[in-house]
Structure 1
Amino acid sequence: MESKTLYKIPHLPPEIITEILSRLSVKSLLKLKSTSKSWHSLISSEHFIKTHLENSEKNPISANHRILSVVKKPNYELKHFSLRPLLYEQATEAKRGDFPIDKSVHSLKLVGSCNGLICILINKKIFFLWNPVTAESKKLPDLDVSVYISERGFGFDKSSGDYKVYAVSSRRPTIGNIYSLKTDSWTRINNDLEDGYTLGSKTGTFLSGNLHWTITSKELNWRWCILSLDLKNEVFGIMEQPSDAIHVDFDPLVGVLDGCLSTLYYYPDDGYLEFWVLKQYGVKESWSKLMTVSHQDYNDAMDMRPLQSFVISPNERVLFKYGSVIGIAVYNPKENRVEDPKILAFDQFLNSDIYVESLVSLNC
Structure 2
Amino acid sequence: MGLLLSCLQTHKKSFTTKGKSRRKSPGRRKFIELRTLPHEESFDIPGDILVEILPRLPVKSLLKFRCVSKSWLCLISCPQFIKTHSRVSMENSKWSGHRVIFACSYPQYGLKQYSVHSLLREQSLTDAFHIYYPIKYAPNHAWLGSSNGLICIFEDVKDLILWNPSTRKSKKLPRIGTNLKIYRHIVAYGFGFDEYKDDYNVVLIVRLFEEERGYKYSLRTDSWKRVGDLEDTGIALSNSINFASGKIHWSTSPETSSGFMWEIICLDLESGVCGRLDQPDYGGSDIALTLGMLGGCLCILCYEIDTHVDVWVLKEYGVKGSWTKLFRFPCIHRGGRLVFLKPLCMLPNGEILLIFGTSLVLCNPAYGSFRVREATNFDMVEIYVETLVSPAVLNEECIDISLERELCDKLENM
Regarding TM over 0.5, the answer is: yes
> Is 1:339 equivalent to 2:400 in the alignment?
no
Of 254, 264, 270, the residue aligned with 2:291 is: 254
Q: 1:260 Cα deviation (Å)? A: 2.2
Partner of residue 350, structure 1: 379
Retained in 2: the 8 A contact 1:329–1:341?
Answer: yes
> Is 1:288 equivalent to 2:324 in the alignment?
yes
The amino acid of 1:203's aligned partner reads S
Partner of residue 354, structure 2: 320
Partner of residue 102, structure 1: 136
Q: 1:80 Cα deviation (Å)? A: 2.1
The amino acid of 2:319's aligned partner reads V
Question: Structure 2 CA distance, aligned partners of 1:246 and 1:233?
Answer: 35
Matched ranges for 1:1-364 at <5 A:
12-59=45-92, 62-73=95-106, 76-92=109-125, 93-103=127-137, 105-143=138-176, 144-146=179-181, 147-172=184-209, 173-194=211-232, 197-218=234-255, 222-246=260-284, 250=288, 252-268=289-305, 270-295=306-331, 302-307=338-343, 309-314=344-349, 316-323=350-357, 326-342=358-374, 346-361=375-390, 362-364=392-394
Q: 1:60 Cα deviation (Å)? A: 6.6
Question: Structure 2 CA distance, aligned partners of 1:263 and 1:30?
Answer: 39
Q: 1:230 Cα deviation (Å)? A: 2.6
Task: Name the SS for the 1:174 alignment partner.
Answer: strand
The amino acid of 2:369's aligned partner reads R
CA displacement, residues 154-210 of structure 1 (integer Å, 9 cap, x when unaligned): 112223222111113343222221111122221122342337x22232021223333
Q: 1:95 Cα deviation (Å)? A: 2.6
Retained in 2: the 8 A contact 1:90–1:341?
Answer: no
Change (3 A) 1:349 1:210: farther
Task: Name the SS for the 2:376 alignment partner.
Answer: coil
**Taking structure 2 as the reference length, what is the TM-score of the superposition?**
0.75
- After superposition, the CA RMSD in angstroms is 2.6
The amino acid of 1:101's aligned partner reads I
CA displacement, residues 306-331 of structure 1 (integer Å, 9 cap, x when unaligned): 23x411432x32111113xx110111
Partner of residue 26, structure 2: none
The amino acid of 1:289's aligned partner reads K
Task: Name the SS for the 2:276 alignment partner.
Answer: strand
Where do 5+ consecutive residues of structure 2 fail to align?
1-9, 12-42, 395-414
Task: Name the SS for the 2:62 alignment partner.
Answer: helix
Retained in 1: the 8 A contact 2:235–2:255?
Answer: no
Q: 1:114 Cα deviation (Å)? A: 1.0
Change (3 A) 1:39 1:348: same
Q: 1:77 Cα deviation (Å)? A: 4.0
Partner of residue 5, structure 1: none
Retained in 2: the 8 A contact 1:64–1:356?
Answer: yes
Change (3 A) 1:181 1:101: same
The amino acid of 1:204's aligned partner reads I
Change (3 A) 1:25 1:157: same
Q: 1:25 Cα deviation (Å)? A: 0.8
Identity score, percent: 36
Task: Name the SS for the 1:51 alignment partner.
Answer: helix
Task: Name the SS for the 2:393 alignment partner.
Answer: coil
Retained in 1: the 8 A contact 2:330–2:368?
Answer: no
Q: 1:150 Cα deviation (Å)? A: 2.6
Bigger shift: residues 41-50 or 154-163: 154-163
Question: Structure 2 CA distance, aligned partners of 1:339 and 1:350?
Answer: 20
The amino acid of 1:135's aligned partner reads R
Q: 1:62 Cα deviation (Å)? A: 0.7
Question: Structure 1 CA distance, aligned partners of 2:143 and 2:278?
Answer: 27
Q: 1:334 Cα deviation (Å)? A: 3.3
Question: Structure 2 CA distance, aligned partners of 1:60 and 1:176?
Answer: 37
CA displacement, residues 229-272 of structure 1 (integer Å, 9 cap, x when unaligned): 3333343332222123546653x22222222222111111x521
Change (3 A) 1:303 1:164: same
Retained in 2: the 8 A contact 1:126–1:140?
Answer: yes
Task: Name the SS for the 2:56 alignment partner.
Answer: coil
Structure exhibiting the larger radius of gyration computed from Cα positions: 2
Q: How many residues align?
A: 344
Q: 1:99 Cα deviation (Å)? A: 1.7
